[in-house]
Amino acid sequence: MADDWYTDEFGRRRRIPNGDGRGRRGGGAIVAAGVAAVIGAGGVTAFGGGAAVEGGAGVAAEALPGNLAGDVVDSLPGRSPSARKTEGRKSAQRGKSAETFSRFKLKELKPTVKRDLKCLLNSTGKVQEFFIRTPCTSLVMRLYAVGDGHGNAAVLSVAWIGFRTKKDAVAFERVEQVQDNGDVTPLGGALLGLAGFRFTGHHYHARPRGRTMVIGEADTATGRFDAEELDALAEVVAYFPKP
């Protein structure tokens, strides 16, 4: 009997193996940032680009253990995506990461943090030129890997960029928000054991907080996430307090 499928409220397609029970995604294809990627002998071949983990779902499963148990608790059953984002933002402002991700029916798989990074060495383009003229005072970055317990996983990045004055932070925002002006480069997926993962920059949120600019990004590591959910996650993580 052919497998049946259903779509959850975040647009993720789920397989129902042989029509009896909701099973996890598996097999020979992953979707990264909404783009199909086929796993072959040489790793992942992506059609149209997007974030993908080299080696495919097997590599992601090894790097992110605990994402196949189907044990994720939904702390907001029946709520709309917009309500989940609102409640997630409140939890993030309180620094409660587990609660934040549970608002999206996700759990935290693996966090990592890097402090005292150099802005010039971790930026590109006109953003880097801005730092030459207006040095930052601090740069802290954090990565989160989150999953739904059925093999779908996303990687989230947060960067806290400190400046001497609020005016400098606002000036940075004006430069950074222009497309193709460069960026503060997020940490690579290798820190989470996801070799080859790269952020696409499609799911991104920046917000000023006094003399600090906070930048959140999100992308699919394996499986599938709806663009709306990735956008919401990028926005919500930008509300986490600086570690």
Question: Could you read off the pLDDT of 127-172 as tens digits, one per residue?
Answer: 999 999 999 999 999 999 999 999 999 999 999 999 999 999 999 9
Task: Quote the pLDDT of residue 70.
Answer: 80
N residues, the chain: 243
Tell me how many domains the chain contains. Answer: 1
- pLDDT exceeds 90 at position 229: yes
- pLDDT exceeds 70 at position 3: no
Give the tens place of pLDDT for each residue, 170-225.
Answer: 999 999 988 889 999 988 888 888 888 889 989 999 999 999 999 999 999 999 99
In the block, tokens 């600019």 appear at: 213
* Cα-based distances in Å from 65 to 57, 60, 107, 240: 12, 8, 12, 24
Task: Quote the pLDDT of residue 38.
Answer: 26
In the block, tokens 């590591």 appear at: 221
Q: Which tokens in the block code for residue 88?
A: 């997630």
Task: Quote the pLDDT of residue 15.
Answer: 39
Domain that holds residue 65: 1-243
